[in-house]
A and B are shown apart, each in its own frame.
Chain A
Amino acid sequence: MDLKRFLSLALCALFLFSMVGCTESAHVNRRDLGNGWEIESSMPLQYATQFSVDYYAGGYKLICLSDNSRFLIVPEDAEAPAGIDKDITILHQPIQNIYLVATSAMCLFDALDALDAISLSGTKAENWYSENARSAMENGKILYAGKYSEPDYELILSSGCELAIESTMISHAPEVKEKLLDLGISVLIDQSSYEKHPLGRTEWIKFYAALLNKESNAEALFVDQVGFLNEAAAQENTGKTVAFFYISTSGYAVARKSGDYVTKMIELAGGNYIFSDLGDPETATSMVTLEMEKFYATAKDADFIIYNSTISGELKNLDELIAKNELLRDFKAVQNGNVWCTNQNLFQETTQLGRMILDINRMLVQDDPTVTRLNFLYKLQ
């Protein structure tokens, strides 16, 4: 009897696992409205692959995301068209009272000067890098609505919110998404973290611009960043190697996966990421925990170290770095004084990625020892 129960339980488990929604990653498809309307034009995208925007007659825009979600932006005072596909979510302009959880989107909103479209935030005031965001929260223009996994539904509902912009973390807490939908709030999941190219992330400014009807601002900003990138890319590969990591509280070295956008930034800046084959390109994780020996063997000879301070805080000097792990003393970059540290808010600066690449390039290229502070990096001494 027990064997039978066991088998039936195992079968149940298998069945449940197979019941998972199969979503293909990376590419956007099904860009058709379903009611026979013809696309007038599409937003040109240089680097972004995780979204698409198609324009229809009458000011309608269809936004498709790589997680197969689709949103139709309906102009103010216009009606939603008949006969469109059922899975398309309708959003009426002007889009306001947004509940913003995706932290990387905040600076995009800030750059677009569209902070007043946001009324609720999933991050507390003091944790925002953007000054404007922080003061908006302190002034009560934007309210804190609880963590992404346990939002204050009552507050969200009573504030008249219609759209929640979540990060991919929400996929681990599906009941929150379901609850929000149940309350009549549309949920949009920011897919920019899956962009392979760093400027692909920056290009998401055009995505939010489409939501907010600020396409022209976006274009200008983006062109700037492309300019910085080109400036960096114009130079040759310096041949120098860079290690980008942090030491976790349990003493492990955590580095970025090879091929992830940070490592791409390093490549574009003319450097070479020291770990050539780290991590599984198929999975969505971006960080890889390294066992000390492997880390030591590979990273010891890196010409430069950029310490990732976004997780556990900025370091003040080299001693603090070495205090995290004695072995670092032997690293070539440490001995040559080529250790740099990121500003803690690096990942919130999505609009400046082009500039960041230029910064990395400057770090690699310049040999003036008095330069210890760049826009986004500073030297550890």
Chain B
Amino acid sequence: MESIEIKRRARIWIVFIALLAAFFILVSLNVMLGSVQSSISDTLSALFGRGGDMADILWKIRLPRMLACVLLGGALALSGFLLQTFFNNPIAGPYVLGISSGAKLTVALVMVLVLGAHKSVGSVVLIGAAFVGAMISMGFVLLISQIIRRSAMLIVSGVMLGYIFSAITDFIITFADDASIVNLHNWSRGSFSGISWDNVRVMAVVVIVTSCLVFLLSKPIGAFQLGESYAKSVGVNVGAFRVALVLLSSVLSACVTAFAGPISFVGIAVPHIVKALLKTSRPLLVIPVCFLGGAIFCLGCDLIARTLFAPLELSISSVTAVFGAPVVITALLKKRARS
């Protein structure tokens, strides 16, 4: 049986190296491609040498955007993985607990109440509003989870919360002017455009710290793969784990929603792709590779979104849907075929 073990290890290494290669290729492409063309040597010298317009474009526009894709893509993939494992549901994703609806609600509130009265706000306020909205939504979910102890019901209550928040948002919009409505609609399509270095700094801290915490949760996540009852029997503190999981996945998806708006399908599709490639669901392996996979997915989709029809930008969510939806459908079909 040793050869099987060797084959498995080899597979994991190959996948990992291939993904790393893809990652570096996409990073380079994202830095080199844009609506302003320049040769490779120009790009390199602009990156590391003198200033000038090209350097500005690279440093101020492309690099922060690229880093945002990496960080937020990884965050989404991890968030999706956590929720799929916990709920044992292949279509669970970062927004299944109603986070994006909560964020949209607070952003709508700010747009209608504050901006509608001819005041202006900094982007920090909108980002903060989105984050606060997501966290409030998460707070509700946690409250509910103390009362409803069954994990399956948590998804239902998350979905219901999402509907309630959407209904309230629609209510608020009736008092909004067209400008607010248009802009709220734009916000909910999600976009990596306009990310600044300040944004990247905050994102990096939040995402990296949270991702490390997720990695440290590998052990109870592994126990949970046998279901809640067996996890409890091997000593997992199920209540605390549930809270930690909701918290961590919410922080990750709240961070994404705050800085880039809701971006769908990454969180649902990437864990499936990663598990299909690695052919294992061991958390110690899947977690880092999911992060890498999410980064690659977002880098690729953002590249397409901003270069395909330049200077028009495609909505990032439509690109991720085009690639992500087939993955989810295949995963669902495979699961049906199995059972």
Partners in one complex: yes
Binding site for B on A (CB under 8 A): 2, 5-6, 9-10, 12-13, 16-17, 19-23, 25, 67, 143-147, 149-155, 157-158, 160, 168-169, 171-176, 178-179, 182-184, 194, 282-287, 289
- Asked if residues B106 and A174 are in contact (CB atoms below 8 Å), the reply is no
- Asked if residues B311 and A283 are in contact (CB atoms below 8 Å), the reply is no
- Asked if residues A182 and B60 are in contact (CB atoms below 8 Å), the reply is yes
CB contacts (< 8 Å) of B56 on chain A: these are 157, 183-184
Q: Roughly how many angstroms separate A153 CA and B36 CA in the complex, as a whole number?
A: 10
Q: A144-B311, A154-B34, A286-B177 are in contact. Are A178 and B120 (CB under 8 A)?
A: no
A-B contact pairs, 23 of them (CB 8 A): A2-B143, A5-B142, A6-B143, A9-B132, A9-B136, A12-B128, A17-B113, A20-B119, A150-B191, A152-B35, A153-B60, A157-B53, A157-B57, A168-B179, A171-B115, A175-B195, A178-B122, A182-B60, A283-B116, A283-B118, A283-B177, A285-B176, A287-B178
CB contacts (< 8 Å) of B193 on chain A: these are 150-151, 153, 176
- Asked if residues A17 and B60 are in contact (CB atoms below 8 Å), the reply is no
- Name B314's closest neighbour in chain A (CB-CB): A150
For residue B263, give the distance in angstroms from its CB to the closest CB of chain A. Answer: 14
Q: Roughly how many angstroms separate A77 CA and B106 CA in the complex, as a whole number?
A: 49
- Asked if residues A16 and B312 are in contact (CB atoms below 8 Å), the reply is no
- Name B313's closest neighbour in chain A (CB-CB): A150
CB contacts (< 8 Å) of B54 on chain A: these are 158
Count: A-B pairs, CB below 8 Å? 153
- Asked if residues A23 and B119 are in contact (CB atoms below 8 Å), the reply is yes
- Asked if residues B114 and A17 are in contact (CB atoms below 8 Å), the reply is yes
- Asked if residues A158 and B311 are in contact (CB atoms below 8 Å), the reply is no
Residue B110 interfacial (CB < 8 Å): yes
Using A152-B313, A179-B196, A285-B116 as known contacts, list a sample of 12 further A-B pairs with CB atoms less than 8 Å apart, ordered by residue number in A: A9-B132, A20-B125, A150-B191, A154-B62, A157-B60, A169-B179, A173-B183, A174-B122, A175-B195, A178-B122, A284-B116, A284-B177
CB contacts (< 8 Å) of A17 on chain B: these are 110, 113-114, 125, 129
Q: Roughly how many angstroms separate A23 CA and B116 CA in the complex, as a whole number?
A: 12
For residue B278, give the distance in angstroms from its CB to the closest CB of chain A. Answer: 36
Q: Roughly how many angstroms separate A287 CA and B177 CA in the complex, as a whole number?
A: 7
Q: A23-B119, A174-B122 are in contact. Are A179 and B53 (CB under 8 A)?
A: no
Residue B303 interfacial (CB < 8 Å): no
Partner of B114, one of A20, A176, A178, A282: A20
- Asked if residues A145 and B118 are in contact (CB atoms below 8 Å), the reply is no
Q: Roughly how many angstroms separate A379 CA and B136 CA in the complex, as a whole number?
A: 54
CB contacts (< 8 Å) of B135 on chain A: these are 9
- Asked if residues A172 and B111 are in contact (CB atoms below 8 Å), the reply is yes
For residue B239, give the distance in angstroms from its CB to the closest CB of chain A. Answer: 12
Q: Roughly how many angstroms separate A155 CA and B132 CA in the complex, as a whole number?
A: 34
- Asked if residues A21 and B120 are in contact (CB atoms below 8 Å), the reply is yes
- Asked if residues B186 and A283 are in contact (CB atoms below 8 Å), the reply is no
Residue B41 interfacial (CB < 8 Å): no
Residue from B114, B118, B174, B310 whose CB has the most chain A CB atoms within 10 Å:
B118
Q: Roughly how many angstroms separate A286 CA and B177 CA in the complex, as a whole number?
A: 8
- Asked if residues A9 and B139 are in contact (CB atoms below 8 Å), the reply is yes
CB contacts (< 8 Å) of B196 on chain A: these are 175, 178-179, 182
Partner of B132, one of A13, A25, A149: A13
- Asked if residues A2 and B57 are in contact (CB atoms below 8 Å), the reply is no
For residue B45, give the distance in angstroms from its CB to the closest CB of chain A. Answer: 16
Residue B194 interfacial (CB < 8 Å): yes
CB contacts (< 8 Å) of A175 on chain B: these are 123, 126, 194-196
Partner of B311, one of A22, A25, A146, A169: A146
Q: Roughly how many angstroms separate A254 CA and B291 CA in the complex, as a whole number?
A: 48
- Name B179's closest neighbour in chain A (CB-CB): A169
- Asked if residues B128 and A149 are in contact (CB atoms below 8 Å), the reply is no
CB contacts (< 8 Å) of B126 on chain A: these are 174-175
- Asked if residues A169 and B182 are in contact (CB atoms below 8 Å), the reply is yes
Q: A9-B139, A12-B132, A150-B193 are in contact. Are A158 and B53 (CB under 8 A)?
A: yes
Residue B159 interfacial (CB < 8 Å): no
- Asked if residues A67 and B120 are in contact (CB atoms below 8 Å), the reply is yes
For residue B78, give the distance in angstroms from its CB to the closest CB of chain A. Answer: 23
For residue B109, give the distance in angstroms from its CB to the closest CB of chain A. Answer: 8
CB contacts (< 8 Å) of A145 on chain B: these are 311
Q: Roughly how many angstroms separate A183 CA and B183 CA in the complex, as a whole number?
A: 23
Residue B264 interfacial (CB < 8 Å): no
Partner of A172, one of B122, B180, B310: B180
